[in-house]
Amino acid sequence: QMQLVESGGGVVQPGGSLRLSCAASEPTFGNYAMHWVRQAPDKGLEWLAFTRFDGSIKDYADSVKGRFSISRDNSKRMLYLQMHSLRFEDTGVYHCANDFGFKERPLGYFDNWGQGTLVIVSS
């Protein structure tokens, strides 16, 4: 089972930027689409971004489109989320997760999840 470990969270002012990272334990990382999912304090789950197994296709929730950018480096088994123009409502725990589907057939639901990294947007 693939282990995922996020890092890079912290406290940032509104309008600031932050880059999150997600390290995968398995060489099979490159076979799976990856996602970022956010959880605001005491709230539910919100999907944010997707990248195809090879990084060739990306998709974003409207709430982050134009501000966040997902990328991956399969040679390093790493997933990233670059966040710009951060807002108060971006506060939350950010999880990376691999898609349950394999390679060209992402299914849009999430198999293994990381524990998450906390982002706090505060002035």
Partner 1 sequence: EVVMTQSPATLSVSPGERATLSCRASQSVRSNLVWYQQKPGQAPRLLMYSASTRATGIPARFSGSGSGTEFTLTISSLQSEDFAVYYCQQSDNWPPEGTFGQGTKVEIK
Question: Which residues of the shown chain bind partner 1 in the complex (CB under 8 A)?
Answer: 1, 35, 44-47, 50, 59-62, 95, 100, 107-111, 113-116
> Helix (H, G, I), strand (E, B), or coil: what is residue 76?
coil
CB 83 within 8 A of CB 17: yes
Residue 38 CB, shortest distance to partner 1, in Å, is: 11
Residue 45 CB, shortest distance to partner 1, in Å, is: 5
Q: Closer to partner 1 by CB, 16 or 71: give it.
A: 71
Q: Closer to partner 1 by CB, 11 or 107: give it.
A: 107
Q: Which of 80, 79, 83, 61 is nearest to 12 (CA)?
A: 83
CB 22 within 8 A of CB 34: yes
Q: Closer to partner 1 by CB, 16 or 113: give it.
A: 113
Q: Closer to partner 1 by CB, 78 or 113: give it.
A: 113
Residue 100 CB, shortest distance to partner 1, in Å, is: 7
> Helix (H, G, I), strand (E, B), or coil: what is residue 88?
helix
Q: Which two tokens stand for residue 102?
A: 């394999």
Residue with token string 């480096």 = 73
Residue 75 CB, shortest distance to partner 1, in Å, is: 25
For Cα atoms 55, 102, 104, give the angle at the middle one, nearest 5 degrees: 55
